[in-house]
Chains A and B, each alone.
Chain A
């Protein structure tokens, strides 16, 4: 159990760094959604299923959709500088 949660925490941090570093904004948004998904798994591991459900449906689905719509209306990829 402890091992699983450590793996998930490391995965979450890696995805969060990835979401900052990626230049393709759609890919970055997908990484943000994946962070939410991993967080919801972590909430499940510490026995908070109510919060896990809210995080999975709002963080991973609705927020991601809103970000993607925002990206569609603006620039597709990040410029250097």
Chain B
């Protein structure tokens, strides 16, 4: 009984505090000025036609490095989990072979998915999308391949090498900024070029291409680990 009374008092305090907080908060108005600053100065300062990219890679480039590391940690976690689970024998499942239309259709459409994904991350500084989106589209292409040809295995060493090189490119490009007179991590040291051309915005397209490769190989690795749990004999590798 006493406990219930204490709980309800605490609940009332929390509800009251939240209500006061939200009542004091202006709704539907501009609360920050930083967005306006990016809209007005983003194109001139970074040379990227896509404002979202200029924020993600230039103004908040260090956050993106953290985001990429989080994704890497998640992929590594999945791999470790399944590597540890791989020791136990699992009953082998019969996978029905996908029908003719799926197999041939996926073989035709797979290169176009790769092309589309790479288009998105190469044009990340010009059109909507970027490394994360393009990379996940490429990984979904790999998923299609796994689903239509159940025996497929990706070359995991190749994936690891691509992933490591892409991450290294990002970090090295960031570190070069520290050796310049401007002395800031991820400083955009390359010339900005003309707006709306492929070779513009300095290091942003290079970073986005690196992120695209990294995300694609990480997601493809996760898909490979997961599909292996279904397909591989005895689980694991």
Contact = CB atoms under 8 A, between A and B. Distances in A.
B120 A69 contact: no
B226 A53 contact: no
A54 B139 CA distance: 12
B223 A54 contact: no
B128 interface: yes
Given A50-B52, A53-B129, A69-B227, A62 B136 contact: yes
B224 to A, nearest CB: 11
A17 B130 CA distance: 33
B213 interface: no
Q: Which of B93, B137, B227 has the most CB of A within 10 A?
A: B137
A13 interface: no
Contacts of A49: 128-129
B226 A58 contact: no
Contacts, number: 45
A61 B229 CA distance: 19
Interface residues of A, number: 13
B170 interface: no
Contacts of A65: 140, 143, 147, 223, 226
A61 B230 contact: no
Interface string B122-149: 0000001110110011011001000100
Nearest to B219: A62
A73 B235 CA distance: 11
A73 B120 CA distance: 34
A24 interface: no
